[in-house]
Structure 1
Amino acid sequence: MSPTIYPPEFLEKIDPKFHIEKGSILKTMLREIAKTPLAGVYAVDGSGKEFAVTILDIYKGLVVMKPETEPPGGFSSIIGTSQIVVACNGNSKMQFLSNDFRMHEDGVLMTCALPQDLIVIQRRKEFRTLGPSDEDFNFVLSLGAGQELLSRVIDISDHGILLDLRLDATEVEVGRYWHSGYFERPKFRSGGIDLIIRNVRPGRALDRIRAGCELYNPSKNVLKDFESTRTAIENARVAGRINRWYLSASWCE
């Protein structure tokens, strides 16, 4: 199976605050590649001719990479070109344009120039909390016609949530709305919650998929339920009683 890589963001949609100061580019890159060495290399023209690399190091002003997949046009097609490099982890996406891609003299590794501009995009504005390992806790998706689908809460912020669900159980695509979903635990359930899917990625198992969602036009009650759920989980984890996290969630009262 091909490694999972993530496409670049459109420059015009990137907040200027995510651009790293020039003097901090090297240090920031070393920190980010230590978290996520796997990256995707994308054609500047958006032609979809991407391939995967593992970023090994930065040496003498060059980014040193090991190709994990071959470029669609072969390695000779990118020699001397400029490419967009993207590395994504659970919290951020590092993206940069670099030029002069070359094969190393060993014929195995590749290099490119250290970028002059580096972007590190935070995936969410709010602090994210990992969901509890609680098999009784679900987010229930309402699919219409009385159909419902249980999903696991991977993490949650005050305005967003990452859900894990069965692959092919329902259509999952960026921009899709899920209306009237709710948190559920035995004897308790929250009010209706509307979500919009912002990103989609593979799950850890082959038969799972993950959907990063944002609240859609939330009411005050929905915002309260989300904030209290995240806070309850976080506080219980800090206090060492994560198995009783739900006792302070507003919808479990």
Structure 2
Amino acid sequence: MKFNIFPPEALNKIEPKFHVESRMIAKTIEREMINKSPLAGLYALDGADRAIPVSLIEVRQGLLIMKPEIKPEGGFTGLIGGQRILVLCGESGKMQFMATGIRLNEDGNLTCPLPADLILIQRRKEFRTLGPADEDLNFVLCLGAGQELLTKVIDISDHGILLDLRLGATEVEVGRYWHSGYFERLRSRSTTIDLIIKNVRPGADIDRVRAGCELFEPKKLALKEFESTRSAIENARVQGRLNRWYLGASWHE
């Protein structure tokens, strides 16, 4: 069985605003388990080992109940009583916390106390518009030395964008800059746009990855064309003519 789990973010790269208030930690974790058992990964603190995939089952009496999806090499001996970093990529963002005092129940499930510190790297809070599912629309990343990479627009806000790209096609990590990218549709293209990666999560398929990006020091024209793209898609969706969204984009000929 294959699992698409992403490693934890380095603590020195996490902004203070992504730390969840202590009184909201239990509710934040429980919200991810409403009507589902989301898949997470237990990582060694040094990141040397591969993640142990677990499904989050429930919160009970201050404990998080987890079902291991595979048995680690050498069994659970090295896991019991130790510490791991738990990472979950859900709809609300990328969640991670320190799982301490891990135990193995008689029913085969793992437990750990609810954490005192929870990090939730949230998606953009601005109004977001889903991409138009237009096969001719791409956001082109310029990778240097004349190399370009076509990516798909999953959603877009006035100052941010979620891109879907092939896993391994280029380095994707929080804090990385992509310079001089642009929207492209057939023979039309926008002005160049600089992005900074704010979060990374799995794609819909195991060979895809998604990067949540924000505009980086946009010039007036880049900001105008970016906002025009979002509003063109949203207006076309409301008017029931999404297949002709591009007519409202200022950069489209």
TM-score, scaled relative to structure 1: 0.81
- Cα distance, 1:12 vs. partner? 4.2
CA contact (8 A) 1:172 1:211 kept: no
Map of 1:171 onto structure 2: 170
- Cα distance, 1:66 vs. partner? 0.8
Map of 2:51 onto structure 1: 50
Distance 2:101 2:127 in 1: 38
Map of 2:79 onto structure 1: 78
Deviation readout 1:28-63 (Å, 9 max, x if unpaired): 211023377111112234444531110011122211
Look up the equivalent residue of 1:110 and give its one-letter code: L
Q: Specify whether residues 62 and 137 from structure 1 end up closer, same or farther in structure 2 by C-alpha distance, changes over 3 A only.
A: same
Q: Specify whether residues 173 and 77 from structure 1 end up closer, same or farther in structure 2 by C-alpha distance, changes over 3 A only.
A: same
Deviation readout 1:191-211 (Å, 9 max, x if unpaired): 122345555555434554544
Q: Percent identity?
A: 63
- Aligned pairs for 1:195-210 within 5 A: 195-197=195-197, 203-205=203-205, 208-210=208-210
Distance 1:26 1:176 in 2: 32
Distance 1:73 1:49 in 2: 13
SS in 2 for 1:55: strand
SS in 2 for 1:75: coil
Map of 2:150 onto structure 1: 150
Distance 1:130 1:214 in 2: 16
Unaligned runs of 5+ in 1: none
Unaligned runs of 5+ in 2: none
TM-score, scaled relative to structure 2: 0.81
More helix by share: 1
- Cα distance, 1:93 vs. partner? 1.8
Map of 1:116 onto structure 2: 116
Distance 1:88 1:197 in 2: 16
Runs of 4 or more above 6 Å deviation: none
Distance 2:50 2:164 in 1: 29
SS in 2 for 1:77: coil
- Aligned pairs for 1:1-253 within 5 A: 1-34=1-34, 37-48=38-49, 50-71=51-72, 74-106=75-107, 108-124=108-124, 126-142=126-142, 148-166=148-166, 170-174=169-173, 178-186=178-186, 188-197=188-197, 203-205=203-205, 208-252=208-252
Q: Specify whether residues 167 and 118 from structure 1 end up closer, same or farther in structure 2 by C-alpha distance, changes over 3 A only.
A: closer
Alpha-carbon RMSD across the aligned residues, in angstroms, is 3.0
> Which protein has greater RCO, CA pairs closer than 8 Å, 6+ apart?
2
Q: Specify whether residues 147 and 230 from structure 1 end up closer, same or farther in structure 2 by C-alpha distance, changes over 3 A only.
A: same
CA contact (8 A) 1:49 1:72 kept: no
Distance 1:183 1:113 in 2: 46
